[in-house]
């Protein structure tokens, strides 16, 4: 694996497989109560410029379970909030820490941090990508469906960071991906076109959710209003009408289709209560798996080699 995890496009299929196989081992160890400390004496800094529940807790607890220490660094409580540059911050933090996880707005910020830091940098979400989330999602599909190759994933809703990460995963892992998005909220053209050009699987964009879910193994969705888009709330709620993952849409897919949501969910908007709490929902398995896959990433980037 490369030094950093900035985006799933940068991973090889072998990297994905290694992460999934270590995540599986680490999950078993944790369930069996086995003490395993490959990060003994190591420290992860976690910089947050946006809120978080799952990312913060799963990284913090995961690092602890691996014998390391995680520091929560709220952007505005550091000198970043007062204008210290990313390169200077990276160089100073590299003298104390063994790795950095960052959640911020611009992908360029994460890239600049990674370029300037001597230590691994992990993207904990930007406006463009959420690689750790999709690692957990594909791991969940693999665990519960025995693999990812030739599976069919339908992503319904906003062409956002989650959609972009699904596109990169489908490109590397050869599963089919159909995105159903409103015309004004499609994924970035460059990311979609690159994947369509390079992938051996079928990655397509449609505007009818019913077309996307037909024969799907997974239906995934996400909020219509991502962090930082709060001012667009009314316009977005209107634009996404017809893109709700509800009982009717799920019934149009396979009986045992897995319904995924990265969370937090906005019940009654992109997903109904009935689907969130229904028999097809695996949303909390995904949330749990965030920790297991991230532990695998931490072990591979920061720990003793497995
Ligand atoms: N899915 C996810 O990243 O959740 P948080 O925003 O709570 O970290
Ligand atoms: N697309 C959402 C994902 C939250 C985990 C956001 O960026 O707010």
Instruction: Locate the ligand 1 atom nearest the alpha carbon of residue 124 and give its number.
Output: 3
**133 — pLDDT class (breaks 50, 70, 90):** very high
- Is the fold of 8-130+287-302 the same as that of 133-284? yes
Catalytic residue among 151, 172, 290, 292: 290
CA 264 to centroid of ligand 1, rounded, Å: 6
Strand locations in the chain (E): 43-48, 69-74, 99-103, 121-123, 152-156, 176-180, 203-206, 218-221, 258-261
DSSP letters for 99-152: EEEEE-S-HHHHHHHHHH-SS-EEE---SS--HHHHHHHHHHHHHHHS--TT-E
Q: What are phi and psi of 154, to 5 degrees?
A: -115, 125
Q: By C-alpha distance, which of 177, 211, 182 is closest to 195? A: 177
54 lines ligand 1 (CB under 6 A): yes
Q: State yes or no: is 262 an active-site residue.
A: yes
Catalytic residue among 98, 158, 176, 222: 222
262 lines ligand 1 (CB under 6 A): yes
CATH of domain 133-284: 3.40.50.1370
Catalytic residue among 4, 15, 127, 133: 133
**112 — pLDDT class (breaks 50, 70, 90):** very high
Task: Describe the strand order of the beta sheet including 258-261 as a list of residue ranges.
Answer: 203-206, 176-180, 152-156, 218-221, 258-261
**What are 227-266's pLDDT values in tens digits?**
999 999 999 999 999 999 999 999 999 999 999 999 999 9
8-130+287-302 belongs to CATH 1.10.8.60: no
* Residues 143-167, mean pLDDT to the nearest whole number: 97
Q: State yes or no: is 115 an active-site residue.
A: no
Structural domain spans, the chain? 8-130+287-302, 133-284
**305 — pLDDT class (breaks 50, 70, 90):** low
pLDDT of res. 196: 98
Q: State yes or no: is 133 an active-site residue.
A: yes
Cis check: omega of the bond before 264, within 30 degrees of 0: yes
Q: Quick check: 306 pLDDT over 50?
A: no
pLDDT of res. 304: 64
* Residues 142-155, mean pLDDT to the nearest whole number: 96
Q: State yes or no: is 290 an active-site residue.
A: yes
């Amino acid at each position: 694996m490369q030094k950093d995890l900035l985006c799933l496009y940068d991973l090889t299929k072998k990297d994905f497989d290694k992460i999934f196989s270590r995540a599986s081992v680490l999950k078993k160890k944790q369930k069996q109560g086995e003490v395993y400390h490959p990060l003994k004496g190591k420290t992860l800094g976690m910089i947050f410029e946006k809120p978080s529940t799952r990312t913060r807790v799963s990284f913090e607890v995961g690092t602890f379970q691996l014998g390391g220490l995680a520091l929560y660094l709220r952007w505005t409580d550091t000198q970043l909030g007062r204008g210290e540059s990313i390169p200077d911050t990276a160089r100073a933090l590299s003298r104390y820490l063994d790795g950095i996880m960052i959640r911020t707005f611009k992908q360029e910020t994460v890239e600049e941090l990674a370029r300037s830091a001597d230590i691994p940098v992990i993207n904990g979400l930007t406006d463009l990508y959420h690689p750790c989330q999709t690692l957990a999602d594909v791991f969940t599909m693999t665990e519960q469906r025995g693999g990812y190759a030739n599976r069919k994933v339908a992503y319904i809703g906003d062409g956002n960071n989650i959609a972009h990460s699904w596109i990169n995963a489908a490109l590397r892992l050869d599963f089919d991906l159909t995105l159903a998005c409103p015309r004004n909220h499609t994924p970035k053209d460059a990311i979609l076109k690159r994947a369509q050009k390079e992938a051996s699987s079928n990655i397509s964009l449609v505007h009818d959710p019913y077309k996307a879910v037909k024969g799907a193994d997974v239906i995934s969705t996400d909020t219509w209003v991502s962090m930082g888009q709060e001012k667009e709330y009314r316009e977005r709620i209107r634009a996404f009408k017809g893109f709700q993952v509800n009982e009717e849409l799920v019934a149009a897919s396979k009986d045992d289709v897995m319904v995924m949501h990265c969370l937090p969910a906005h019940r009654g908007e992109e997903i109904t209560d009935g689907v969130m709490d229904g028999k097809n929902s695996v949303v909390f398995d995904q949330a749990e798996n965030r920790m297991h896959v991230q532990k695998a990433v931490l072990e591979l980037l920061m720990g003793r080699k497995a």
